[in-house]
């Protein structure tokens, strides 16, 4: 799996790392993962709009299928098949969750 590399380190006057800057979507996902929270927008998309949880999370995080596929190390079309599936294997669910920066249980909405 390819880890995201969109993290910036800002050095302090002493030449040591002082700050780390990450994209806001990554911050939100990290925060939610730590608390196993599921944002209202994701729940609404899954339960009301009947969207697959992986798609709801991807859209919430403002990611494209290509971006998630790249993080998983698969093609966009392969990821699209996973996202369209009503039932994912445990290993696939874990890979998608890792690519989205969430826990696998956060993909279990509506199941």
Residue 12 located in a structural domain? no
Which CATH number characterizes residue 92's domain?
1.10.260.40
Closest CA to 57 of 68, 66, 48: 68
The whole-number pLDDT of residue 15 equals 93
Residues 21, 45: Cα–Cα separation, whole Å: 29
Residue 73 pLDDT level (bands cut at 50, 70, 90): very high
Are 65 and 76 in contact by the 8 Å Cβ rule? The answer is yes
Q: Tokens for 52, please give them.
A: 């697959």
Q: Confirm whether 4 is domain-assigned.
A: no
Which is more confidently placed, 107 or 1?
A: 107
| Structural domain count, the chain | 1
102 in any annotated domain: yes
Average pLDDT on 62-82 reads 95
- Summarised one tens digit per residue, pLDDT across range 8-66 is 899 999 999 999 898 887 887 777 666 678 889 999 999 999 999 999 999 999 999 99
Indicate whether 76 belongs to any domain: yes
Q: Provide CB contacts within 8 A for 14, sequence distance 6+.
A: none
Average pLDDT over residues 73-78: 96
Residue 31 lies in a domain: yes
Q: In the 8-state DSSP scheme, what is residue 20? A: E
* pLDDT of residue 5 exceeding 80: no
* Domain assignment of residue 67, given as a range: 24-107
């Amino acid at each position: 799996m390819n880890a995201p590399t969109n993290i910036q380190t800002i050095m302090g006057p002493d030449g040591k790392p002082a700050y780390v800057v990450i994209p806001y979507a990554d911050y939100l996902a990290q925060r939610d993962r730590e608390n196993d929270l599921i944002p209202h927008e994701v729940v609404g998309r899954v339960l009301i709009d009947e969207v697959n949880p992986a798609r709801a999370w991807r859209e919430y995080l403002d990611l494209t299928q290509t971006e998630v596929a790249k993080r998983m190390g698969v093609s966009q079309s392969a990821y699209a098949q996973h996202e369209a599936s009503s039932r994912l294997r445990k290993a696939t669910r874990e890979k998608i969750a890792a690519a989205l920066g969430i826990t696998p249980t956060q993909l279990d909405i509506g199941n």
